[in-house]
Chain A
């Protein structure tokens, strides 16, 4: 089973704070993704990447930055966090090709007070 590890598992910050969520995959996958999951909205794609140094904008990118430093590591940055960013964040990775499944990390629960 492919391995995707997220940190931290839980994070609490205040409005206006800076937050960095980390994700590492050891699957040798080219593609990595950041999703947020919210009741009533489901899973929504924030940013994704094809490889180190590459960044693609997802469907709900406002308020988020991301950086892919290596093939293994993908970071999600929240500068000036807002309560609307309180959510469950999932990182995922996949191989190249439209028929490749996503492997998800265990998630990071973020609360912005």
Chain B
């Protein structure tokens, strides 16, 4: 069973719309959450990270974290076709530098 579960598995949104992606860890020892984006045929690139309860916004991207429920969500407003990609959620523990546990990802398609 995946220790990091993402939903939905795939998502289609219209250009200019809002995309909301979810991620939950079943490992209660994780402290850090990450969102990586992987365009088709490319390598993953870190999009956003969040380590404290609350919300973090960077441009069109907002990430939320609830540490009590080990749930994080990524919201993309004004979605663009270039946002079409595989979005990977990852979690890590204090003391385990870089030893990330990845979810299976959400495939986002933004339709023009």
Contacts and interface: CB of A to CB of B under 8 A. Distances in A.
Whether A and B are associated in the same complex: the answer reads yes
B84 to A, nearest CB: 18
Contacts of A97: 97
Q: DSSP majority for the B interface? A: loop
Contacts of A101: 34, 46, 49
B43 A106 contact: yes
Interface string B71-107: 0000000000000000010101111111110111100
Nearest to B42: A106
A21 to B, nearest CB: 14
A95 to B, nearest CB: 8
Q: DSSP majority for the A interface? A: loop
Interface in A55-95: 58, 90, 92, 94
A43 B97 contact: no
B15 interface: no
Given A90-B43, A96-B97, A104-B44, A42 B49 contact: no
B98 A48 contact: yes
Contacts of B93: 98
Interface of A: 31, 33, 40-45, 48, 58, 90, 92, 94, 96-102, 104-107
User: Nearest 9 A-B pairs (CB), nearest first?
Assistant: A104-B43, A101-B46, A43-B102, A94-B98, A42-B104, A31-B98, A42-B102, A104-B44, A106-B43
